[in-house]
Amino acid sequence: MNSSKALSWASALLALSGTSAIADTFPEHAIEIVVPYAAGGATDVFARSLARAMSVALPNTPDVVVVNAPGGAGTIGLTQVANAEADGYTIVFTTSSPIALQPLYGRTPFTVEDFAPLAQVSVIPAAFNVHMDSDIRSVDDLVAWATANPGAFTYASTGGNGSGTHIVSEQFAAALGIQMRHIPFEGTAPLTAALMGGQVMGTMQMPDMHTGGEVRPIVFLTPMRPSDPVYADIPTSTELGIPAVANFFTAFLAPAGTPADRLEVLSTAIATALEDPGVQDLFENANYPISYAGPEAFGQILTETVASNRAELLRMGLISQ
């Protein structure tokens, strides 16, 4: 072998060994998980449980620290991560709305392209509900009542006008060919109180029969139902062939441009953390089915969710082209 070829081989081997060394040493210091909501809420509690399990699962067992950055309905925390160094050391654990819905209104300093999909963790089930004592027991009953009384069926959704629950409810009504009147509410407590008090006939939210409540679902408008057996016989819209499905997820994102090998290290640790019995108990007790998807699969889910939200917002006239 002549000297030039020997030098080329040596250079190639050095490059490969350097790449391997980078992958083998990540992470070298603490990972920061930004939670775009206040401390003590459900998203924060899940993040802290996952952080403990991820620390054990990651190479070099680094500290995994949760930092709360609430405000702007989740957008302040996501802005912080979108502007962070794309090195794998700063990631965000979020629900779907701040990334898959709010940027579509054009009022956030980021878009979905500013993030690298890292991992979907769980699905947040939500159903179209009525009061426990309602004569409406099924989707067929709802169609019959709403057809006989056009526009008279009132329902409330969490998050108000243009929220994910509002969008999928209108998608649901359009698919059924019925008219319903939306009453916007901010938060679950006042919405539930309105249903209990008869101010509205239906709601779009997580039902509460598993805690002895009286919010009774007739159909889940999410890909999965809660794990509690009380909901075992309640269909999903997909099972009924109704084209109205909202993918409300919890997930991790990294800044766009984060190296793929580091995303793989992080997503593998997340998958391992989700096998931790303590983490699994936490999600099961909250009735949030764990539904892991890695960077590629979650990227597809995110793309489809954003496209669906955009199409429905355009149909409803809430955004323009």
Residue 12 lies in a domain: no
The pLDDT value given to residue 24? 63
User: 137 with 231, same domain?
Assistant: yes
Q: What pTM was estimated for this model as a whole?
A: 0.88
Give φ, ψ of 157 to 5 degrees: -130, 150
Residue 7 lies in a domain: no
Residue 18 lies in a domain: no
| Closest listed residue to residue 310, CA positions, set 95, 96, 103 | 103
Burial (Cβ within 10 Å: 0-12, 13-18, ≥19) of residue 278 = exposed
Q: Rounded distance, CA 37 to CA 78, Å?
A: 10
Q: What is the pLDDT of residues 75-124, one digit of tens each?
A: 999 999 999 999 999 999 999 999 999 999 999 999 999 999 999 999 99
Domain encompassing residue 165: 127-240
Q: Is 130 left (phi over 0), alpha (psi -120 to 50) or beta?
A: beta
The residues, any chain, with a CB within 8 Å of residue 275's CB and separated by 6 or more, are none
Q: Contact, 43 vs 61, CB < 8 A?
A: no
Residue 205 lies in a domain: yes
Angle, CA of 112, 118 and 124, to the nearest 5°? 80
User: 206 with 288, same domain?
Assistant: no
**Of 162 and 158, which is predicted with more confidence?**
162
Residue 16 lies in a domain: no
Q: Contact, 76 vs 38, CB < 8 A?
A: no
Q: What is the pLDDT of residues 221-267, one digit of tens each?
A: 999 999 899 999 999 999 999 999 999 999 999 999 999 999 999 99
User: In the listed set 214, 240, 266, which residue is the last one of a domain according to the structure?
Assistant: 240
The pLDDT value given to residue 189? 87
Amino acid identity, position 92: V
User: In the listed set 240, 272, 297, which residue is the last one of a domain according to the structure?
Assistant: 240
The pLDDT value given to residue 186? 76
Angle, CA of 163, 168 and 172, to the nearest 5°? 150
- The CATH number of whichever domain residue 54 belongs to comes to 3.40.190.150
The structure tokens listed for 203 are 């709601």
Q: What is the pLDDT of residues 111-157, one digit of tens each?
A: 999 999 999 999 999 999 999 999 999 999 999 999 999 999 999 99
User: In the listed set 212, 240, 268, which residue is the last one of a domain according to the structure?
Assistant: 240
Q: What is the pLDDT of residues 40-89, one digit of tens each?
A: 999 999 999 999 999 999 999 999 999 999 999 899 999 999 999 999 99
- The CATH number of whichever domain residue 189 belongs to comes to 3.40.190.10
